[in-house]
């Protein structure tokens, strides 16, 4: 698929897609006319990259952990600096806290909806 279609499907601008490619986060093949051509798996990769960036990870660390997101895995430990490990540990803790918060909020909304629906059914009956 061409860059315009990838942008449309993922909601990521063409400019950012080119940046991801420059950073080695995604790859494309070049058509005879020079246009970029991405395979279907690139959609998932872009969404993974976007999620990791939204979580606050820098592209240099994302590039290192991307192999962990695919199977079979080809994890390279030689680039794992203390700084990177500390960053990932802090990010993991932050994500865990965020997930717990989201789960509490989800449960509260579900409880609220349940009560509202029960009250609405009682009013109808």
Confidence check: pLDDT of 72 > 70: no
pLDDT at 1: 94
- Give residue 75's pLDDT band: very low, low, confident or very high (50, 70, 90): low
What is the pLDDT averaged over residues 73-78? 59
What's the whole-model pTM score?
0.65
Residues 90/55, Cβ–Cβ less than 8 Å = no
CA atoms of 49 and 57, how far apart (whole Å): 9
CA atoms of 47 and 73, how far apart (whole Å): 19
Confidence check: pLDDT of 111 > 90: yes
pLDDT at 76: 59
What is the pLDDT averaged over residues 28-50? 92
DSSP β-bridge partners for residue 29: 37
């Amino acid at each position: 698929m061409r860059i315009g279609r990838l942008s449309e499907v993922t909601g990521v601008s063409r400019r950012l897609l080119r940046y991801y490619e420059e950073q080695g986060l995604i790859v494309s093949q070049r058509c005879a006319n020079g246009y970029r051509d991405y395979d279907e798996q690139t959609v998932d990769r872009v969404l993974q990259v976007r999620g990791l960036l939204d979580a606050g990870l820098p592209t240099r660390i994302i590039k290192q952990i991307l192999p962990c997101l695919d199977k079979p895995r080809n994890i390279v430990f030689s680039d794992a600096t203390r700084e990177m490990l500390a960053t990932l540990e802090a990010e993991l803790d932050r994500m865990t806290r965020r997930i717990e918060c989201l789960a509490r909020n989800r449960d509260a909304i579900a409880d609220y909806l349940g009560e509202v629906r029960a009250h609405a059914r009682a009013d109808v009956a």
